[in-house]
Amino acid sequence: MRYSIALVMLLLSLTACGSTVEDVQATPVALTMKVPATWDSVATCIAQFYMSTNVTSYLPVASEQRAKVIVKFVGGGVVPYVSILFVFEIAGGNPTTVVMRQAQGGSSANQNKTARDLIERCGKGANAL
């Protein structure tokens, strides 16, 4: 019985691992860019790029010309967990503004360069990838 309780406690603690959207949104902005493309084409482009390697949520709000793209990592063996890697906030206008935040401790020059290059490509049009 004690082992069962210990196992349940371990499983509960493992499922709590990882960052949440709220955690990432509370971090400082890692990258801000303005691009000459529509908000929806930029958001779709960013989401499609990360869908090939991560679980990605694309949350458009058409009435406000904005979207949020949430990039998640799903890991673990016996007990999978979800951790938010990046949150992109895309706002329409002329030009479109893209703000990226990333999980605490997840900052790397390579990730920032990849995101910057991606946003530039997506800013050139929907078929940029």
**Is pLDDT at 17 greater than 70 in this prediction?**
no
**Is pLDDT at 16 greater than 70 in this prediction?**
no
Domain residues for 71? 18-122
Instruction: Give the model confidence (pLDDT) of 45-95 as tens digits.
Output: 999 999 988 899 999 999 999 999 999 988 876 767 788 999 999 998 789
Count of structural domains within the chain: 1
The CATH number of the domain holding residue 26 is: 3.30.310
Q: What pLDDT band is residue 2 in, cutting at 50, 70 and 90?
A: very low
Q: Is the dihedral of CA 114, 92, 72, 129 positive or negative?
A: negative
Q: What is the number of alpha carbons within 13 Å of residue 37 lying toward its C-beta? A: 21
Whether 27 is covered by a domain: the verdict is yes
